[in-house]
Amino acid sequence: MLHAAEEIAQALGEDAVCYDHDVLEHHGHSDWSTSNSANRAVAVVYPKSTEDVSTIARICHRRNVPMVPFGAGSSVEGSFSQPLSGICIDFSYMDKIVAFHPDDMDVVVQPGLNWVDLNNHIASSGLFAPMDPSPTATVGGMVSTNCSGTNAFRYGTMKDWVLNLTVVLADGTVIKTRRRPRKTSAGYNLTSLFVGAEGTLGIITEATLKLAPIPQSTSVAVVPFPTIHSAAAAATALIRSGIQLAALEIMDEKQMEILNAHGSPTVRKRHWAEQPTLFLKFSGTAEAVQSDVSRVSAIIHDLTQGRAPFHFARTKQEEHDLWAARKESLFTMTSIRPAGFEMWSTDVAVPVSRLAEIIDWSKAECGKLGIFASVIGHVGDGNFHVAMMYDPRDKEQAAAVGRCVHEMMDKALEMEGTVSGEHAIGIGKKACLRDELGEETIGVMRSLKRAVDPKGVMNPGKVFD
């Protein structure tokens, strides 16, 4: 592995390779992640072009050295960890917009580009890339986890926004999955093969992304409910109403308590009802937003006999402040984590008709553990997270949390759901993926993996063994 790193330094320059302990640590471990591995890469390398990546791959392939791509390191299932060590490939210097085609509503970017920077850069064109995972995330990582976020209810997930990819295969071969039209039925859909592959099939060095028009008008409403069941049931009714909301999110009473006690000054401008709360975002023309707000308000009024107050933002500032509560919730929650404690966050998704039932069930099961546990999520997509804080030194507690998480995933599978709505599989959920899909389906994935990476050097130990 060290010989490979030295050879990469000879080919790309000494500056392109780093052995610094802190840098390796940062690239091999994440406090956000539920799963981490003990090993670290021997070096982090910094390519500047597709050709550089191809050179790195050729060297590692010849020497049978694992390659692990790294974007911003914000994924939460250990997808970028290095259980078999190897070379970590960081795309910090591949963060450019290669070509912007506003008339075609697409943009060609390098994988290290951060999505917030992209949207700031193109904002004046009236277009944006809609996926919104961690504000730090990069396009390469977002494509490779098939990420989503609060906007997925309206815009779908990352897979719906990728037109083509340039990919360096394990042996250094460079391919482009397709050209740039909005549609094609030419050949196998190789773009989708690499979306969500977590860097196990190849290294993305360029992506063409579709863009959406920035909505003319937006608004936000929050609605507290007496119980988590009534909030989830209202969410299901809103989804079925066909009203095209921009986002539909849920936070339980624990999250709301934390906002009041520990939220940022923006969030604490108001006192939040400490009840399960739906956060709704509206977007479209001004008239459409007004009509959607009235329709949603009427549905909620009918469902709750007027007992769930509907707070709707009257100014842009208020809209920003209300939504900040949802966007900052994860940061606020982790800020109160006691020293030495860890957070285990689940990510199940079920068909929407089963949503209220599984959220209810999950709350009851976590409640029995006697630890901090809280539900938050993208209920519009039937996807939610339960965040549990526990002390890993307390073996009994850690085991109980692990059991609870697995029971929750089993329950989701019983309901024809998934064990990973948006956080991918990484090292943490390999066994659960087998439960979800079965050996035969995993067998086909293995065959595909062998076809493009027969030596198994691309991000080994992830998705399946």
Ligand X SMILES: Cc1cc2nc3c(=O)[nH]c(=O)nc-3n(C[C@H](O)[C@H](O)[C@H](O)COP(=O)(O)OP(=O)(O)OC[C@H]3O[C@@H](n4cnc5c(N)ncnc54)[C@H](O)[C@@H]3O)c2cc1C
Task: Report the interface residues with ligand X, using CB under 6 A.
Answer: 32, 68-76, 79-80, 91, 111, 133-134, 137-138, 140-142, 144-145, 147-149, 198-199, 203-204, 330, 422-423, 459
CA distance 413 to 350: 8
Closest alpha carbon to 249 in 240, 262, 238:
238
- In the complex, what is the shortest distance from the CB of residue 304 to ligand X, in angstroms, rounded to a whole number? 28
The smaller minimum CB distance to ligand X, of residues 170 and 204, is found at 204
| Least distance (Å) between residue 464 CB and ligand X | 14
DSSP 114: B
Minimum CB distance to ligand X, residue 306 (Å): 32
**Taking the CB of residue 10, how many other CB atoms lie within 10 A of it?**
12
For the CB of residue 142, give the shortest distance to ligand X in the complex, in Å: 4
Cα–Cα distance, 189 to 395 (Å, whole number)? 46
- Written as six digits, the tokens of 194 are 């690499």
Ramachandran region of residue 370, left (φ > 0), alpha (ψ -120 to 50) or beta?
left
Q: What is the Cα–Cα distance from 279 to 222, expressed in whole angstroms?
A: 5
Nearest approach in angstroms of CB 300 to ligand X is 24
- Closest distance of CB 211 from ligand X, Å: 18
Contact assessment for residue 386 and residue 448, using Cβ atoms and an 8 Å cutoff: no
CB 68 within 8 A of CB 86: yes
Least CB distance from residue 323 to ligand X, whole Å? Answer: 13
Residue 26 or 229 with smaller CB distance to ligand X: 26
Rounded to 10 degrees, what is the CA torsion of 450, 453, 454, 455? -140
Minimum distance from residue 161 beta carbon to ligand X (Å): 12
**Smallest distance from the beta carbon of 108 to ligand X, in angstroms?**
14
- E strand segments, 43-185: 43-45, 67-70, 87-90, 97-101, 106-109, 127-128, 162-168, 174-176
Name the residue number minimizing CB distance to ligand X. Answer: 141
Give the CB-side neighbour count of residue 201, counting CA atoms within 13 A.
25
The CA distances from residue 418 to 308, 350, 376, in Å, are 31, 6, 17
Question: Which ranges of 156-285 would DSSP assign to H, the alpha helix?
Answer: 190-194, 228-241, 253-262
Distances (CA, A) of 254 to 92, 249, 273, 350, 366: 37, 15, 11, 23, 12
* Lookup: tokens for 92: 């910090």
